[in-house]
Structure 1
Amino acid sequence: MKFDNPQLIKYIKGCTSPYHTVDTSLQLLVDAGFTELSLEEPWSLTTGNYVVNVYGTTLFAFHIGEDYRHSLRIASAHTDFPAIRVKPNPITDVKGYTKLNVEMYGGLIQNTWLDRPLGAAGTVVLKGDNPYDVESVLVDTKRPIAIIPNLAIHMNRNVNDGVALNRQKEMLPIIMMNQQGSDTTKSEVDEWNTFLAEEVNCDPSEILSYEITLYPVTEGILVGTEFDFISSPRLDNLTSCFGALSGIVEAKKNKVDGIRCAVLFDNEEVGSRTKQGGAGMLLPNLLERVYRSLGLSRDDMDMDVARGFMISSDVAHGLHPNYPEKNDITNFPVLNGGVTLKQAASQSYAGDAMAIAIVKGLCEEANVKYQIYVNRSDIVGGSTVGSISSSMLPMRTMDIGLPLLAMHSAVETMGACDQEQLNRLMQHFLGDE
């Protein structure tokens, strides 16, 4: 597979929920020759390339070279993104309009979601022979089924002065007209379950639960007089997932020694404190399982962790030309300026002087452009999974990412040249000795 901009846009199109990010990524790796493993079965590992689907929304891929102990390198990213999630019992009617009761997932910029056609994607869980034998089925409408209409300026003359949107009132999407014109809140086993049943080809009574994300159906596109930009939903953080995948595929291609891993965590946008998130024991447990299966000890793993390295990739705040004062006065990444090394004295971004030096050296070896991001001292920035996951697996770690404009908007903007730089770094990091 080519890891270029057209393939990035195609990848993002397929990754409409964390479940679909894992499914799309898994298929990409299987097609590249990786062997799928199950958490529920014993592993018998040797030199080769493997991938694990972890609870549907996290992915763990790894390459084992002939010399297992040569080096341990890990690239991480996250599969989730700010979005709108459908609640249980979601149907409510107002004067004939059927609406969905929803909640916000992560820190999305709410007004950017107004007036955008929204599709629905995620998983539907169906009854089995017993309570533990249930079936999870992916669903993606691949078409708009909802929209959150703005209020006309004639009814809100101050709208251009800024409007605070109430999440429970103004952020509910409409999905259809109810010909009965009633004002009711209906049970879950109603229009919504009937709709989901049609999408997955089952009877509504078979549906036990679901986890459904609403997403903008807008597709990524090149923008600018010289096509300098990519405008797309979900650049945060599918750009990093795409880069990590390019690196682990390169490790397989080059048959490098050591153990090289790519882990795509879920739930970064809500704190990572889940069984499939970076704030848990998932990564240490999976890594220990790899070492045990290779006949290596916990001491072997601890020594390799101590001399290993992890790159945590998540997007960074590019300098906004309309708000240049929002960035630090000397450390401000720009679009098409290359990979961003993210630093913070608070350790909201992982890294120390040694880690910074290592990644700079890797960039120079791979001819990758890099720049530095530090928050303005009077603005609290975001955080990411790097510091969290490295506290659970005490490995030297550096946070990096691509600079974006409008991070957490329904549609974000990146430099069209930057993905190649990230891919090149990941391919060098995971795919070279």
Structure 2
Amino acid sequence: MKKDLTELLRFIGESPTPYHTVMAAAKRLVKAGFAELDLSENWQLQPGGRYFVKVFDSTLLAFALGKGDGPLRIAAAHTDFPCFRLKPQPEIVKEGYGILNVEKYGGMMLRTWLDRPLGVAGKVALRTADPFRPKVQLVDFRRPLLTIPSLAIHMDREVNDEGKLNVQKDMLPLATMGGDDLSAEYFHAWLAEELHVAPSAILSYELSAYPCEEGTFCGLQEEFISSPRLDNLTSVVSCLAGIKSIDTEKLQGLRLAAFFDNEEVGSQTKQGAGSAVLMQVLERIYLAWGKSREKMLCDIAGGFMLSVDVAHALHPNFADKCDPSHKPVLGGGVVLKQAASQSYAGDTEAVAMVRGLCEAHDIPWQHFVNRSDSRGGSTLGSIASTLVPLRTMDVGVPLLAMHSARETMHGADQEALVKLLKEVFY
């Protein structure tokens, strides 16, 4: 198990942004024998083939084709996570300090980001002769560059009682010192120097600040993992393990793993689970596979999708925050998530199917339902299944400190989730 968990931490370390998550996933898929396709080209697919396609660099769909008819099974996760995104003109010079103007992406526990070393990573677009084809470069400077210092308790005596933070005022990262000589475009100039280009060559960028500290094992038995981005890279790694494990010589039907961007901001984007991309890719697969659209619709009607995202574990200091009869704990296994509101997509049959799989293969499982007097979270399962109407179930590993700069899980739960994904894709 430790080897698989070390791979999880390695993957997280390679994935400071959704773009890097897709790049890390693609590298592993190529090594496993998957061929890359392009959305803008015609597809020629072969029964028994393994393929993947990127969508705007931050979403990826990987699939395996059987040599005969069989069930359609899909697993979906998301590539994004809460972070701070730099604004287009981020430089602010104040009293000789160079700070950066940022906005939050997704729901964040702001205080957990204070006083940490932060790196910078993302995508930069560079000028070319053709304005419609800028040169795009992924960057990860892989060193601490920023920090968001908290105000000393001597100047904020009520911090432990109140501690409210304003994103625009209190969460701007410190980048440099320069006194009166600090340029109004100091970050743009620094970025150009790092990329070895002229400042005028940089047309735009999408850059994020992320915690530099690596994930680690902890606990008296090293049973826990403490790491940034467990939400939702635990699920990405599990889905990758599942789709790579398929033996296409024996496979019947279609298996597909979808890794969508923008779940943390609602999924309603061209590369999100709320877009047409999943249905379009399915249709292109069936047509290139020599199947009809009618066959695709029949398979969707009888198909199954696992929506894989993390779940809340019972917190030992706040046990009353859990539903009184549904208390998933770290180390208790895969969490089956349900909600009467359908913010989680599972229905009676979907629950029975996943529970049946777990019990048939000795996979530990547990239930999560929100307290009736609190508003819970949601994920991409309900959104994706409205556009591709498959029976869908939401599952994931239990976490503590979800949406903190650093989250905590139990290693055994990741092992259980990987085992479940391999059975779903079997």
TM-score, normalising length: structure 2? 0.97
Name the CA distance, whole Å, in 2 between partners of 1:251 and 1:340: 24
Select the residue among 399, 412, 415 that pairs with 2:410.
Answer: 415
Name the CA distance, whole Å, in 2 between partners of 1:253 and 1:146: 47
Q: Where do 5+ consecutive residues of structure 1 fail to align?
A: none
Name the CA distance, whole Å, in 1 between partners of 2:3 and 2:35: 21
Q: Is the CA contact (8 Å cut-off) linking 2:66 and 2:248 kept in structure 1?
A: no
Q: What is the aligned partner in structure 2 of residue 169 from structure 1?
A: 169
Q: CA deviation at 1:257?
A: 1.8
2:220 counterpart of 1:220: no
Q: CA deviation at 1:297?
A: 1.3
2:25 counterpart of 1:30: no
Q: Is the CA contact (8 Å cut-off) linking 2:118 and 2:147 kept in structure 1?
A: yes
Q: Is the CA contact (8 Å cut-off) linking 1:95 and 1:181 kept in structure 2?
A: no
CA offsets 1:30-80 (integer angstroms, 9 cap, x no match) = 11111011111110111200011110100100000101x211000000000
Letter in 1 for 2:55: V
Q: 1:181 to 1:162 in 2, by over 3 A?
A: farther
Please list, as runs of the form range in 1=range in 2, the aligned pairs for 1:331-346 lying within 5 A after superposition: 331-346=326-341
Q: CA deviation at 1:254?
A: 6.5
Q: What is the aligned partner in structure 2 of residue 158 from structure 1?
A: 158
CA offsets 1:178-212 (integer angstroms, 9 cap, x no match) = 13167x9x3xxx32222222333322211111011
Letter in 2 for 1:192: F
Q: Is the CA contact (8 Å cut-off) linking 2:279 and 2:388 kept in structure 1?
A: yes
Q: What is the aligned partner in structure 2 of residue 264 from structure 1?
A: 259
Q: Is the CA contact (8 Å cut-off) linking 2:52 and 2:60 kept in structure 1?
A: yes
Q: 1:416 to 1:253 in 2, by over 3 A?
A: farther
Q: Is the CA contact (8 Å cut-off) linking 1:76 and 1:265 kept in structure 2?
A: yes
Q: Is the CA contact (8 Å cut-off) linking 1:21 and 1:79 kept in structure 2?
A: yes
Q: What is the aligned partner in structure 1 of residue 372 from structure 2?
A: 377
Q: 1:63 to 1:3 in 2, by over 3 A?
A: farther
Name the CA distance, whole Å, in 1 between partners of 2:311 and 2:293: 35
Name the CA distance, whole Å, in 1 between partners of 2:213 and 2:131: 38
Please list, as runs of the form range in 1=range in 2, the aligned pairs for 1:9-408 lying within 5 A after superposition: 9-47=9-47, 48-67=49-68, 69-180=69-180, 186=184, 190-252=185-247, 255-408=250-403
Letter in 2 for 1:214: A
CA offsets 1:293-327 (integer angstroms, 9 cap, x no match) = 11211110000001110000000000000000000
Match of 2:57, SS?
coil
Q: 1:200 to 1:255 in 2, by over 3 A?
A: farther
Q: Is the CA contact (8 Å cut-off) linking 1:97 and 1:181 kept in structure 2?
A: no
Name the CA distance, whole Å, in 1 between partners of 2:20 and 2:164: 32
Name the CA distance, whole Å, in 2 between partners of 1:234 and 1:416: 15
Name the CA distance, whole Å, in 2 between partners of 1:257 and 1:250: 14
Q: Is the CA contact (8 Å cut-off) linking 1:94 and 1:181 kept in structure 2?
A: no
Name the CA distance, whole Å, in 1 between partners of 2:416 and 2:370: 23
Match of 1:163, SS?
coil
CA offsets 1:112-148 (integer angstroms, 9 cap, x no match) = 0000000011100111221111121000010010000
Q: 1:327 to 1:125 in 2, by over 3 A?
A: same
Name the CA distance, whole Å, in 2 between partners of 1:335 and 1:253: 35
Letter in 2 for 1:339: V
Q: CA deviation at 1:3?
A: 6.9
Q: Is the CA contact (8 Å cut-off) linking 2:62 and 2:257 kept in structure 1?
A: yes
CA offsets 1:349-381 (integer angstroms, 9 cap, x no match) = 011000000001111222211000000000101
* Stretch of structure 1 that moved more, 21-30 or 253-262: 253-262
Q: Is the CA contact (8 Å cut-off) linking 2:64 and 2:248 kept in structure 1?
A: no
Letter in 2 for 1:212: L
Match of 1:161, SS?
coil
Q: Is the CA contact (8 Å cut-off) linking 1:91 and 1:99 kept in structure 2?
A: yes
Q: Is the CA contact (8 Å cut-off) linking 1:278 and 1:389 kept in structure 2?
A: yes
Match of 1:90, SS?
strand
Name the CA distance, whole Å, in 2 between partners of 1:197 and 1:328: 52
Q: Is the CA contact (8 Å cut-off) linking 1:139 and 1:199 kept in structure 2?
A: no
Q: Where do 5+ consecutive residues of structure 2 fail to align?
A: none
Letter in 2 for 1:91: E
Name the CA distance, whole Å, in 2 between partners of 1:255 and 1:236: 33
Match of 1:376, SS?
coil
Match of 1:157, SS?
coil
Match of 2:245, SS?
helix
Letter in 2 for 1:32: A
Name the CA distance, whole Å, in 2 between partners of 1:255 and 1:59: 25
Q: Is the CA contact (8 Å cut-off) linking 2:53 and 2:60 kept in structure 1?
A: yes
Name the CA distance, whole Å, in 2 between partners of 1:90 and 1:397: 42
Name the CA distance, whole Å, in 1 between partners of 2:65 and 2:261: 24
Letter in 2 for 1:45: L
Letter in 1 for 2:63: F
Match of 1:257, SS?
coil
Name the CA distance, whole Å, in 2 between partners of 1:65 and 1:199: 47
Letter in 2 for 1:328: D
Instruction: Give me the identity figure in percent.
Output: 52
TM-score, normalising length: structure 1? 0.96
Q: How many residues get paired?
A: 425
Q: CA deviation at 1:228?
A: 1.7
Q: Is the CA contact (8 Å cut-off) linking 1:137 and 1:200 kept in structure 2?
A: no
Letter in 2 for 1:176: T
